[in-house]
């Protein structure tokens, strides 16, 4: 894809207004050239530098720390242990205790006596330069008493080895959604029992491997304690939440804390966290009364930044003989790692409403049990709960299609919500407001050349071609735009889901937009400017978007969960409407007309039936001077708005993937990828295309390449990008992206959110395609990431099974079932 000025100019159906225009992002010049303030670029007078001493052990008690030699090293100002900082360091809290009896170990930024994963901070070295701090960190002598570590999720469930002996169990919490219990559907056990007698029951267990968010900019924090106030710059997605958490746990008054997220280089959920490093830097800076900086290395990101996914999914789907789905039971085990992170146990819960997806199940039950292990903590990663759900259901629908003997698109169409049935309340109790699965699927099918690829697949099978072709389908939906505050409250989440905006009309006619969202690469400055330029009728160039500083944007809930546009963009729009409302009487006064006769259009207040008018910029100037306002009018047309949505938004789409599988080596190669997403109204097609492309690659990467692996000592084996195999552009193909549009009914512009769609949809499309390519060889599952070795071994194992009967007899949910241990890679294919 080449992005040129031409592209901007030549968009075939370029709209007259700003919304819908493929504008290049106004923030990119400074971001790309580096003429900006990444946190690590910030240099303050007299600033000191930190290095962290981290535990090499997965589980240990700290018996002693000898920092004498480090304290004497060149340039060293001090060495601080958890004991030194314990009164002021605060604690890394979880915002979402999913059950009243959730077990939650204290997560101290700097461990005092106990470490629960390798990479945990045990001491902080402060020096005049980063190099001196790093050198001295090597000299800190920590004595550990190693404890047995629990590393495997299923082992953790046995409670034989405890990640936190004080808790007495590894189990954090269980959480259930039951359609019969809440009245949104039937009894799932009854549905399954009925299907066992003459219907179809599909039972599978799928693994969501552990992933490591790989944002481009490593995390960095600068803290400047000045008098009573403390300013923290941090590479974070959540400056407002961070400020709250600091106030809530350190004793610093919230009013004395200023948190700034300057330009932030990516997050993907990985910076939706309040980190031990942030709290440790704050504690040391306060202790010394000097500005301090900590910037992590990539190796530190890998062990200390939170990871994503890590679930086992036990699934039972029931259907009638003709493939009409009747019930779905989901039993998850979720690995939280060593601590409950900020969303923590809530991540698997976010999947609860999505396993049933676009299908009309009569009965549904979702259960998750969350466990602690001695591994890096786990939290939100692009999609958070919804990719896991989408993967499970879309894999299951392919299995159902095989069982019924129909095309996977046909089984989906048989069961999905028809476009005329919206709004539709699902078996999980969620009301989908809009969508058109038929339209998206029809368009995708045509762009893909589905029938021709099916014909090619048949030819390759018949000729026994060493390279087989498979087609994968994913007709996904997701819930995004976190979130209606009342729903969050009902779920015991610790905050609301509203978003805030302010619009300041400057005297010279330019506009400042303040948003509580906190962009970290998405292009909010451009998109918000487009919205405001249209609404107020001012030039795009005259709009400046301010964000990410709690002193400038005092209220906000930040950016995650595809919420910024659908919640934050709506707040911006509503603030603009309030500006217009406030300006109207002033305009009427200036025009010497009745307010009722004044109408606002394209930036001008006009008097009906005349050519008299005054622009909003002229009103802004008149308001600023205050020379001639109506009696009793406040000289301001600035406005604030806070928007709390009534519901989530539900983007959906049809993703089709063709994969070639080299049966001799197990190597897979993407042949074609088509996605038609319905994300409602599009503000900027260029930004959307970027979000979809990047999202797709992240989802495809889970299917093919990425996976965090530990050794039996609890050391992260994939601790660098040598072993944690991130794809690059060289590993991907050119995607075909398109859209259908069913506007959301829960916000004015009809937007739905696109930040996570590609990631959520693409993973099952790819795995479905690989399994489809080799299903005739006896394969019905391959554990992710589908490495060539796993694919090849699945084919070998499948070929070793000689009869259908033998394959059917293999127990699925048993301990020894072949897909239980992804590391063994022995025979993932024959587990039906």
Q: Which residues pair with 655 in a beta bridge?
A: 474, 675
**Residue 575 is encoded by which pair of tokens?**
């603030």
- The stretch near another protein (CB under 8 A) out of 33-41, 131-139, 171-179, 672-680 is 131-139
Smallest distance, Å, CB 341 to another protein?
Answer: 26
Question: Judged by CB under 8 A, does residue 425 bind another protein?
Answer: no
Which residues, including other chains, have CB under 8 Å from residue 186's CB and lie 6 or more apart? 179, 180, 327, 362, 363
Phi, psi of 251 (to 5 degrees): 85, -5
Q: What CA–CA distance (Å, rounded) separates 92 from 621? A: 47
Least distance between another protein and beta carbon 721 (Å): 9
Task: Compare residues 9 and 730 and give the one whose CB is closer to another protein.
Answer: 730
Nearest to another protein of 263, 296 (CB atom): 296
Alpha carbons 825 and 823: distance in angstroms, whole number: 5
Q: Does 413 bind another protein (CB under 8 A)?
A: no
Selection from 331, 160, 374, 209 nearest residue 825 by Cα = 209
- What tokens does 707 get? 């996976």
Helix axes 757-774, 685-704, angle to 10 degrees: 40
> Stretches 474-482, 571-579, 601-609, 781-789: which one binds another protein (CB under 8 A)?
781-789
Give me 16's structure tokens. Answer: 């007259």
x-marked contacts with another protein along 286-325 as a string, rule CB under 8 A: -----------xxx--------------------------
Which tokens go with 656?
A: 């089709």
Q: Which one, of 716, 717, 714, lies nearest residue 115 by Cα?
A: 714
Binding mask 737-776 for another protein (x = CB under 8 A): ----------------------------------------
Question: Does 788 help bind another protein (rule: CB under 8 A)?
Answer: yes
Nearest approach in angstroms of CB 789 to another protein is 4
Contact map string, positions 809 to 828, toward another protein, x by CB under 8 A = ----------------x---
HSE at residue 799, side-chain half, CA atoms within 13 A, is 9
The Cα–Cα gap between 792 and 786 comes to 10
Closest CB 661 distance from another protein, rounded Å: 14
Q: Is 449 in the site for another protein (CB under 8 A)?
A: no
- 130 or 247, CB closer to another protein? 130
> Taking CB under 8 A as the rule, does residue 709 contact another protein?
yes
- Listed residue (315, 275, 307) closest to 373, CA to CA: 307
Total site size for another protein, rule CB under 8 A: 32
The encoded tokens of residue 178 equal 């039951």
When asked if residue 711 is in the footprint of another protein (CB under 8 A), the reply is: no
By beta-carbon proximity to another protein, the closer residue of 16 and 729 is: 729
Among candidate residues 536, 719, 563, the one with its CA nearest the CA of residue 649: 563
Q: Which is nearer to another protein, 139 or 283 (CB)?
A: 139
Nearer to another protein, 454 or 671 (CB): 671
Single out the residue of 279, 227, 234 nearest to residue 87, CA to CA: 279
Q: Does 728 bind another protein (CB under 8 A)?
A: yes
Residues 640-669 within binding reach of another protein (CB under 8 A)? 664-665, 667
Other beta carbons less than 10 A from residue 595's beta carbon: 14
> Using CB under 8 A, which of 145, 627, 730, 734 touches another protein?
730
Binding to another protein by residue 787, rule CB under 8 A?
A: yes
Of the pair 69, 640, the CB lying nearest another protein is at: 69
Q: Is 75 in the site for another protein (CB under 8 A)?
A: no
Residues 6+ apart with CB under 8 A from 20: 14, 681, 682, 683, 684, 685
Segment near another protein (CB under 8 A); pick from 425-433, 609-617, 701-709, 801-809: 701-709
What's the chain's length in residues?
Answer: 832
Select from 446, 581, 723, 804 the one that contacts another protein (CB under 8 A). Answer: 723
If binding is defined by CB under 8 A, does position 47 make contact with another protein?
Answer: no
CB of 710 to another protein, least distance (A): 11
Kindly tell me which of 709 and 738 has the beta carbon lying closer to another protein: 709
Q: How far is the CB of 121 from another protein (least distance, A)?
A: 18
Contact status: 800 vs another protein (CB under 8 A):
no
* Least distance from another protein to the Cβ atom of residue 297, Å: 5
Nearer CB in complex with another protein: 465/512: 465
407 near another protein, judged by CB under 8 A: no
Q: Which is nearer to another protein, 319 or 708 (CB)?
A: 708
Q: Which of 726, 733, 800, 809 binds another protein (CB under 8 A)?
A: 726
CA distance 487 to 310: 26
State which of residues 80, 792, 797, 801 lies at the interface with another protein (CB under 8 A).
792
806 binds another protein (CB under 8 A): no
Q: Please tell me whether residue 217 binds another protein under the rule CB under 8 A.
A: no
Q: Does 699 bind another protein (CB under 8 A)?
A: no
Minimum distance from residue 727 beta carbon to another protein (Å) = 5
Radius of gyration, alpha carbons of the chain: 28
Residue carrying structure tokens 């495997």? 152
Kindly state the smallest distance separating residue 359's Cβ from another protein, in Å.
34
Per DSSP, helices labelled H in 95-234 are 130-137, 153-157, 179-182, 188-196
Main-chain phi, psi angles of 299, to 5 degrees: -60, -35
Distances (CA, A) of 778 to 239, 393, 774, 827: 51, 21, 7, 11
Helix (H, G, I), strand (E, B) or coil at 559: coil
Using alpha carbons, select from 829, 828, 821, 705 the residue that is nearest to residue 151.
Answer: 821
Cα atoms found within 13 Å of the Cα of residue 334, Cβ hemisphere only: 37
Tell the smallest beta-carbon distance from residue 549 to another protein (Å): 29
The DSSP letter of residue 735 is P
Q: Say which residues have a Cβ less than 8 Å from residue 138's Cβ, sequence separation at least 6.
A: none
Question: Interface with another protein by CB under 8 A: which range of 132-140, 224-232, 354-362, 766-774?
Answer: 132-140
- Catalogue the E-assigned strands of 650-693: 652-662, 668-678
Question: Could you count the other beta carbons within 10 Å of the beta carbon of residue 816?
Answer: 8
Q: Which two tokens stand for residue 560?
A: 């995650």
Which CB, 55 or 365, lies closer to another protein? 55
Nearest to 426, CA basis, from 465, 382, 479, 371: 479
| Smallest gap from residue 657 Cβ to another protein (A) | 18
User: CB 705 → another protein: shortest distance, Å?
Assistant: 6
Asked whether position 125 contacts another protein by CB under 8 A, the answer is no
Q: Does 134 engage in binding with another protein (CB under 8 A)?
A: yes
Contact with another protein (CB under 8 A): which of 31, 44, 130, 546?
130
Using rule CB under 8 A, residue 152 touches another protein: no
Return the exposure string of 87-104: e unless at least 16 CB atoms fall within 10 Å of the residue's CB, then b.
eebbebbbbbbbeeebbb
727 binds another protein (CB under 8 A): yes
704 is a site residue for another protein (CB under 8 A):
yes
Q: Is 209 in the site for another protein (CB under 8 A)?
A: no
The one-character DSSP state at 564 is I
Q: List interacting residues with another protein (CB under 8 A).
A: 130-131, 134-135, 138, 297-299, 664-665, 667, 704-705, 707, 709, 717-718, 720, 722-723, 725-728, 730-731, 787-789, 792-793, 825
């Amino acid at each position: 894809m080449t992005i040129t000025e031409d592209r901007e100019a030549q968009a075939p159906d370029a709209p007259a207004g700003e919304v819908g225009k493929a504008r290049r992002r106004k923030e990119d010049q400074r971001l790309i050239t580096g003429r900006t303030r990444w946190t690590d670029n910030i240099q303050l007078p007299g600033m000191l530098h930190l290095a962290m001493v981290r535990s090499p052990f997965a589980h240990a008690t700290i018996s002693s720390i000898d920092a004498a030699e480090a304290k004497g090293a060149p340039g060293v100002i001090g060495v601080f242990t958890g004991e030194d900082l314990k009164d002021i360091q605060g604690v890394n809290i979880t915002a979402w205790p999913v059950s009243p009896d959730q077990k939650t170990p204290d997560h101290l930024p700097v461990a005092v006596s106990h470490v629960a994963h390798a990479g945990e901070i045990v001491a902080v070295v402060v020096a005049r330069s980063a190099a001196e701090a790093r050198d001295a960190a090597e000299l800190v002598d920590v004595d550990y008493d190693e404890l047995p570590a629990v590393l495997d999720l299923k082992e953790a469930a046995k409670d034989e080895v405890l990640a936190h002996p004080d808790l007495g169990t590894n189990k954090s919490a269980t959480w259930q959604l039951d359609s019969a219990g809440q009245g949104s559907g039937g009894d799932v056990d009854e549905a399954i029992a009925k299907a066992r007698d003459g219907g179809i029951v599909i039972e599978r267990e799928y693994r969501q491997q552990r992933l490591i968010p790989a944002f481009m900019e490593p995390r960095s924090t600068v803290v400047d304690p000045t008098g009573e106030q403390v300013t923290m710059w941090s590479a974070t997605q959540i400056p407002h939440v961070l400020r709250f958490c600091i106030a809530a746990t350190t004793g610093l008054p919230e009013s004395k804390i200023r948190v700034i997220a300057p330009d932030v280089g990516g997050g993907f959920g990985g910076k939706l966290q309040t980190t031990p490093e942030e709290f440790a830097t704050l504690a040391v800076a306060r202790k010394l009364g000097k500005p301090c900086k900590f910037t992590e290395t990539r190796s530190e990101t890998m062990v200390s930044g939170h990871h994503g996914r890590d679930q086992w999914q036990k699934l039972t789907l029931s259907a009638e003989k003709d493939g009409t789905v009747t019930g779905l039971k989901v039993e998850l085990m979720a690995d939280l790692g060593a601590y409950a992170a900020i969303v923590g146990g809530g991540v698997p819960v976010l999947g609860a409403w999505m396993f049933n997806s676009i299908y009309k199940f009569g009965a549904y039950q979702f259960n998750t049990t969350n466990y602690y292990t001695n591994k890096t903590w786990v939290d939100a990663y692009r999609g958070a709960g919804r990719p896991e759900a989408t993967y499970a259901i879309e894999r299951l629908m392919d299995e159902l299609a095989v069982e019924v003997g129909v095309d996977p698109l046909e089984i989906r169409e048989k069961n999905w919500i028809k476009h005329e049935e919206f709004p539709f309340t699902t078996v999980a109790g969620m009301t989908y407001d809009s969508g058109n699965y038929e339209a998206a699927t029809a368009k995708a099918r045509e762009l893909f050349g589905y029938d021709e690829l099916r014909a090619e697949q048949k030819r390759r099978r018949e000729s026994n071609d060493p390279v087989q072709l498979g087609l994968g389908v994913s007709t996904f939906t997701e819930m995004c735009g976190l979130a209606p505050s009342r729903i969050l409250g009902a779920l015991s989440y610790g905050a609301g889901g509203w978003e805030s905006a302010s619009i300041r009309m400057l005297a010279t006619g330019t506009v400042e937009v303040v948003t509580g969202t906190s962009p970290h690469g998405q292009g909010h400055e451009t998109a918000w400017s487009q919205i405001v330029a249209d609404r107020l009728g001012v030039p795009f160039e005259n709009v400046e978007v301010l964000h990410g500083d709690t002193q400038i944007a005092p209220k906000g809930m930040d950016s995650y969960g595809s919420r910024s546009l659908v919640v934050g963009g709506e707040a911006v729009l509503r603030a603009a409407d309030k500006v217009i409302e406030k300006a109207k009487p002033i305009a009427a006064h200036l025009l010497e007309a009745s307010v009722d006769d004044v109408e606002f259009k394209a930036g001008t207040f006009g008097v009906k039936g005349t050519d008299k008018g005054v622009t909003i910029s002229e009103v802004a100037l008149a308001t600023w001077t205050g020379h001639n306002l109506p009696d009793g009018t406040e000289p301001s047309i600035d406005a604030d708005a806070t928007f709390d949505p009534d519901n989530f938004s539900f983007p959906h789409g049809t993703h089709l993937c063709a994969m070639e599988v080299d049966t001799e080596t197990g190597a897979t190669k993407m042949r074609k990828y088509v996605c038609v997403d319905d994300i409602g109204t599009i503000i900027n097609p260029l930004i959307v295309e970027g979000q979809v492309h990047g999202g797709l690659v992240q989802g495809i990467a889970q299917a093919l390449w990425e996976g965090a692996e530990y050794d039996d000592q609890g050391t992260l084996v994939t601790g660098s990008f040598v072993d944690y195999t991130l794809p690059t552009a060289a590993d991907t193909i050119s995607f075909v992206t398109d859209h259908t549009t069913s506007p959301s009914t829960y916000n004015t512009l009809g937007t739905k959110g696109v930040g996570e769609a590609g990631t959520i949809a693409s993973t099952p499309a790819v795995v479905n395609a690989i399994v489809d390519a080799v299903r005739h060889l006896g394969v019905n599952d391959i554990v992710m990431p589908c490495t060539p070795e796993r694919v090849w071994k699945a084919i070998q194992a499948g070929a070793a099974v000689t009869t259908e009967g033998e394959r059917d007899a293999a127990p699925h949910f048993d301990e020894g079932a072949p897909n239980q241990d992804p590391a063994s890679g022995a025979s993932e294919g024959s587990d039906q």
